[in-house]
């Protein structure tokens, strides 16, 4: 089973990197045609976005405790039913609003999940330096975290922090909401928008919700926010496109400062029309789920 899972992940990583401009839905639909469950495909794409290797290392992963097949099937049905209901609620409440979506993602120095970034080519293996043939790889590669928001009027100012940085409630409030999101909203929108945060606990911390209310920000309440519907959040495709450009032609960084500068350059060069199309597509994605549910082929 593990071998089959590794093979599927490797195939998806390779296919997604080659078709990155077509977006995640293109990859998902391609493998759904083979009968792979949608939830499995999005789990693999999350690994891809978080720079985790396609092949699981021995001893990695969580505990051995698992849901029984019956309980797992029940949980899936509950989540799918809830997603359809809540997407219907979102559509009715905010169908005439512009959608602003935020998220964060990690970038590593080499992004070895991109096809071609973890191998070398040579015409004479005997004359290839050992430093190339046997280059070591750290178990936990240095990385940077990037947060930003996208909407019909482009991207917000990004938050880019180097290794060992995590977003908790206070950080999210000060660095993301106060310094970046609210200025972006004030500069680009009247009152015809809705902010759709990820359902992470830090995004709905009490201090965050209180400040959003005080500032009069239109946002999706936690009870209205469906869980595990990445196919509805177009910012997921934005990350895939950005990473493809950052690591194009097997580019890799020597240090986190170089990586940060590369990310900033690629963000400046990002086509504004592309961002606008992604943001505008959010309404269509929500509408599709409210009508059809989260469709998963068995």
Alpha carbon 269 to its chain's center: 20
Contact of 177 with 208, CB cutoff 8 Å = yes
Closest of 195, 185, 226, 213 to residue 82, by C-alpha: 226
- Residue 181, CA distances (Å) to 9, 98, 155, 159, 222 in order: 35, 15, 10, 10, 18
**Residue 93, burial from CB neighbour count under 10 angstroms (0-12, 13-18, 19+):** middle
Q: Cα(18)–Cα(12) distance, rounded to whole angstroms?
A: 10
Contact 44, 34 (CB under 8 A): no
Least confident span in 111-115, 179-183, 219-223, 288-292? 111-115
pTM of the prediction? 0.70
H helices present in 197-255, as ranges = 206-214, 235-246
DSSP one-letter code for 161? E
Per-residue pLDDT reduced to its tens digit, 106-154 = 999 987 554 444 444 445 556 666 655 555 555 567 889 999 999 999 9
Q: What is the pLDDT of residues 147-158, one digit of tens each?
A: 999 999 999 999
* Chain centre to alpha carbon of residue 198: 10
Task: Give the Cβ contact number of residue 26 at 10 Å.
Answer: 14
Asked if residue 19 lies in contact with residue 31, where contact means CB atoms within 8 angstroms, the answer is: no
Residue 138 backbone phi and psi in degrees, to 5: -70, 145
- Closest by alpha carbon to 143, among 176, 111, 169? 111
Residues 161-216: tens digit of each pLDDT: 986 777 899 999 999 999 999 999 999 999 999 999 988 889 999 999 999 999 99
- What are the start-end ranges of the E strands in 4-142? 98-108
Within 10 Å of residue 85's Cβ, how many Cβ atoms? 15
pLDDT given at position 99: 96
d(CA 291, CA 206): 33
pLDDT for res 112: 59
Q: Is the pLDDT of residue 30 over 90?
A: no
Extract the tokens encoding 101.
């979506």
Is the per-residue pLDDT at 3 higher than 60?
A: yes
Token reading at 44: 């693999």
Yes or no: say if 279 and 65 are a contact pair by the CB < 8 Å rule.
no
Give the separation between CA 33 and CA 182, rounded to whole angstroms. Answer: 42
In whole angstroms, what is the distance from residue 226 CA to residue 87 CA? 7
**183 in Cβ contact with 151 (< 8 Å):** no
Rounded Cα gap, residues 298 and 291, in angstroms: 20
Is the CA virtual torsion 142, 144, 145, 151 positive or negative?
Answer: negative
Q: Is the pLDDT higher at 15 or at 252? A: 252
Residue 151, phi then psi, degrees to nearest 5: -160, 180
Q: Say what the pLDDT of residue 296 is.
A: 54
CA proximity to 25, closest of 284, 213, 298: 284
**Cα(180)–Cα(26) distance, integer angstroms:** 31
The string of pLDDT tens digits covering residues 44-72 is 988 887 778 877 665 555 554 566 777 76
Percent of residues, the chain, with pLDDT higher than 90: 52
pLDDT, position 244: 93
**Domains located in the chain, CATH noted:** 2-56+71-292 (3.30.420.10)
Place of tokens 């990690």: 106
């Amino acid at each position: 089973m593990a071998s089959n899972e590794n093979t599927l992940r490797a195939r998806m990583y390779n296919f997604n990197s080659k078709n990155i401009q077509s977006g995640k839905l293109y990859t998902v639909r391609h493998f759904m045609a083979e009968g792979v469950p949608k939830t499995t495909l999005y789990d693999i794409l999350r690994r891809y976005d978080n720079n985790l290797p396609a092949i699981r290392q021995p001893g990695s992963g969580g505990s051995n405790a698992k849901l029984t097949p019956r309980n797992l099937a029940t949980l899936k049905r509950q989540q799918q039913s809830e997603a359809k209901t809540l997407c219907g609620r979102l559509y009715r409440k905010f169908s005439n609003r512009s959608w602003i979506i935020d998220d964060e993602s990690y970038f590593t120095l080499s992004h070895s999940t991109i096809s071609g970034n973890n191998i070398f080519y040579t015409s004479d293996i005997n004359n290839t330096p050992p430093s190339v043939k046997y280059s070591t790889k750290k178990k936990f590669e240095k990385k940077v975290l990037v947060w930003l928001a996208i909407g019909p009027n482009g991207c917000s100012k990004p938050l880019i922090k180097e290794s060992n940085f995590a977003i908790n409630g206070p950080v999210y409030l000060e660095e993301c909401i106060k310094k970046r999101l609210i200025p972006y909203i004030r500069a680009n929108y009247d009152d015809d928008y809705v902010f759709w945060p990820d359902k992470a606990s830090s995004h709905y911390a009490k201090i965050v919700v209180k400040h959003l209310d005080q500032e009069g920000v239109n946002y999706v309440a936690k009870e209205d926010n469906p869980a595990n519907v990445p196919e509805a959040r177009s910012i997921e495709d934005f990350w895939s496109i950005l990473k493809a450009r950052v690591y194009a032609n097997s580019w890799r960084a020597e240090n986190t400062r170089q990586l940060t500068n590369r990310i900033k350059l690629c963000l400046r060069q990002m086509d504004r029309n592309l961002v606008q199309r992604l943001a505008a597509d959010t309404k269509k994605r929500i509408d599709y789920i409210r009508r059809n549910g989260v469709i998963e082929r068995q």
